[in-house]
A and B are shown apart, each in its own frame.
Chain A
Amino acid sequence: TQLLEQSPQFLSIQEGENLTVYCNSSSVFSSLQWYRQEPGEGPVLLVTVVTGGEVKKLKRLTFQFGDARKDSSLHITAAQPGDTGLYLCAGGRGSGGSNYKLTFGKGTLLTVNP
């Protein structure tokens, strides 16, 4: 059972466009992580957000954690073909070492066309 709903499931855009993908849940998480996964590879962590309302920026990527810690968004500015991949959000419960059982969403498959 997936407790995290990601939307859209698929997104195909042209290079230079902006996009936002969403991760929503009815449950509260102590932290939320965003990963990018390329074909044939394991997920690679992009960011962890832990505080309600928190905004983190990583170059052209902006991540936001909802005030109630139930939802998150990832915004990409001026997308590039290298951004192509499966974007996964994962929620953790507990703190520190107990925060290991991540619940993943199904992911958003992003394709950026040159």
Chain B
Amino acid sequence: GAGVSQSPRYKVAKRGQDVALRCDPISGHVSLFWYQQALGQGPEFLTYFQNEAQLDKSGLPSDRFFAERPEGSVSTLKIQRTQQEDSAVYLCASRAGRTEAFFGQGTRLTVV
């Protein structure tokens, strides 16, 4: 497809389990962003990539969160030892240059 694709759409994890969330950005988009959206809240910035370089990871809530984009295309957000407070929708967005950023549908993570 032509849009940002995220998988899985839904993920249920037991507390303490590791999860990996995938983002396929729009082809050719240099910039990639991850946001976390808790229920009833607006999205909050997690991290930003320009190609394969992670230029800003100031929004990652703890060292259990790790993101990578090794070849400057697909990105993975990994959460280790998930906790209940990690339950949220994780949104990925990509952008070409200084133009509009396009968001994916998100991955809804529920930690039980």
Contacts and interface: CB of A to CB of B under 8 A. Distances in A.
Interface in B61-95: 91, 93, 95
A100 B31 contact: yes
B42 A45 contact: no
A46 to B, nearest CB: 10
Interface residues of B, number: 26
B98 A96 contact: yes
A106 B48 contact: no
Interface residues of A, number: 22
A82 interface: no
A2 B42 contact: yes
Contacts of A103: 45
B98 A41 contact: no
Contacts of A88: 42-43
